[in-house]
Amino acid sequence: MDYIQPRELAKKMIEAGEEKLFMSTKDTIIRGIGAGALLTLAAFFALTIITKTGSLAFGAILFPIGFIMLNMLKFDLITGVFTLAPLPVINGNKGCTWAKVFRNWFLVFFSNFAGALLVVFLASFSVRYGFSKETAETFPAFHDLLSKVGEDRTLGFEKYGFMGWMTCFVRGIMCNWMVSMGVIGAIYATSTIGKFFCMWAPIMCFFFMIFEHAVVNMFLFPFAISMGADFTLTDFFLWNEIPTILGNFVGGFFLVGLPIYLTHYNKDDDDLDDDLDDEVSAPHSL
């Protein structure tokens, strides 16, 4: 069998969340930067495919390679820790507190942003002859594509006011509903090929349906600004990143992490298993 049953999945999700809460600041930051960089480098790759082929489908099919790489390295995205980090606190694990959860979320969010901005710098340099005004001839469509995407998903939402903001929020929910299925797919599949497919499929879905992912957007919109798009960082945060990050939390925790915990995990069963293990391992008197 190359996958685990849901009850064991729920247990491993709690264990994964607990591991993140007790991870050192150094490791949390390094893994967050690595995750942000790998995912957004894959987004740069997907954009290149889309501009060269004109096909969103091809970009969506190949984009998940970044997510697969970062998960195999046990790097952390804010979308994934939204799903896993609260579970050991809800379960009452010793030493697990909401303060540790918020610390983890804070460090991972800003580390992801640092990794994404690193790719923004390198990508912008590579397609504009070292930040000159002229775009490299191998990337002639980048300016038009990024400008349209960036403006439509910031100023386009602003045009509709609160309903535009809520549209972005809902897209964030639907995004991390899919992405978190990829996160737990890396846990419940036990073979390499199984992990690959269980991560690839939901990530492809979210990208093709143009849902909003906070970390991808950390790259996409600053990159668009660097390419001359007509919106500001304030527009990006107010009309995209803030509703997206809130939606990602709702989608990951309330639609994936919490339901699996509530329906598949029974702490009493685990306590009974521990007691049986202790009884089997205890020395018998003659």
Domain ranges of the chain: 6-129+143-263
Task: Tell me what the mean pLDDT of segment 104-131 comes to.
Answer: 93
Instruction: Report pLDDT digits (tens) over 13-62.
Output: 999 999 999 999 999 999 999 999 999 999 999 999 998 899 999 999 99
pLDDT value of residue 285 = 41
Task: Tell me what the mean pLDDT of segment 209-224 comes to.
Answer: 96
pLDDT value of residue 276 = 45
The dotted CATH code for 6-129+143-263 is 1.20.1080.10
* Of residues 54, 68, 75, 47, the one with CA closest to residue 219: 47
276 is written with which tokens? 């049986």
Position 182, amino acid: G
Looking at the predicted structure, is the pLDDT value of residue 271 above 70? no
Q: pLDDT class for 270, splitting at 50, 70, 90? A: low
Looking at the predicted structure, is the pLDDT value of residue 280 above 50? no
Instruction: Report pLDDT digits (tens) over 57-99.
Output: 999 999 999 999 999 999 999 999 999 999 999 999 999 999 9
Higher-scoring residue by pLDDT: 281, 175 = 175
Beta-carbon contacts of 218 under 8 Å, excluding residues fewer than 6 positions away, are 36, 40, 112, 113, 116, 117, 241
Mean pLDDT of the chain: 91
Lowest mean pLDDT among 123-127, 138-142, 241-245: 138-142
Percent of the chain with pLDDT over 90: 79
Task: Tell me what the mean pLDDT of segment 115-126 comes to.
Answer: 94
pTM listed for this prediction: 0.91
- The rounded distance, in Å, linking the Cα atoms of 171 and 270 is 37
Cα distances (angstroms) measured from residue 86 to each of 45, 151, 180, 217, 251: 33, 35, 14, 24, 14
Task: Tell me what the mean pLDDT of segment 238-258 comes to.
Answer: 98
Instruction: Report pLDDT digits (tens) over 141-193.
Output: 777 888 888 999 999 999 999 999 999 999 999 999 999 999 999 999 999 99
193 is written with which tokens? 């090929």
pLDDT value of residue 93 = 96
